[in-house]
Amino acid sequence: MIAKANYSLWVLCLIVIFQSAWLLVRINTDAKRRMAFEQEQAEAEAKKAQTLATVPEPSVGIALIKGGQLQLEPNSGTFLEDFNLEIWAETDRPITKIDLRIFYPAQLLELVSDDWTVDKKGVAFFSSTFESPKEGKFLLTEIVFKPLAKGEAKVEFDFTKESLLDSNLITSENSDILEDVGVGEYFIEVD
């Protein structure tokens, strides 16, 4: 009986040894495969980088279209009496029509320009068409304010990109190209 137990123990030990050896072989084989795969990936990435380094950079032959901008001149200052603000446009394409909506603090400023319309207190509207298209940087119009009370007045264009219900620079194709607007901030003093 002891001999039979010894024999069974030896068989179990041999099975454990063979299984351990088999696991070590499998682990080493998997590790070698993984290392080979990682090496191939690194070589492929290096080859891609080398190929990309030889591709020439594309050159841009024309200027990118910027659209149009509106600015107030001056865009800051201190005023004691009636003052004019010039409205300048800068475009990279010809425009044939403008629509301007400007917000201003009605408790501090009164609009005194004849060619502007007051939609409601604090919102002024101006529209014009051009017989010949205008392009580049040019003076659109002026707006005149009268100081009413002391304070800080912010004058700004009503502008939402691609909206036709606010300030617009319109091309002959009826496209609004306005991309950016300036803001004016003024100190109002009264006598």
For 68-188, CATH number? Answer: 2.60.40.680
State the Cα–Cα distance between residues 173 and 141, nearest whole angstrom: 23
Neighbours of 177 (CB within 10 A): 19
Residue extents of the structural domains in the chain = 1-55, 68-188
Q: pLDDT tens digit string along 20-67?
A: 877 777 777 777 888 888 888 888 888 877 776 665 655 444 344 468
The pTM of the full predicted model, rounded to 2 decimals, is: 0.63
As a whole number, mean pLDDT of residues 117-138 equals 87
Q: pLDDT tens digit string along 87-107?
A: 999 998 899 999 999 999 999
Neighbours of 109 (CB within 10 A): 24
100 or 121: which leads in pLDDT: 100
Residue 70 has pLDDT above 70, yes or no: yes
Residue 62: partners with Cβ closer than 8 Å, 6 or more residues away: none
Inter-CA distances, 94 with 22, 67, 84, 108, 172, Å: 81, 10, 26, 36, 8
Residue 82 has pLDDT above 60, yes or no: yes
Give pLDDT, residue 65: 47
3-state DSSP percent of the chain in helix, strand and coil, to 5: 30, 45, 30
Q: What is the mean pLDDT of the chain?
A: 84
Residue 182 has pLDDT above 70, yes or no: yes
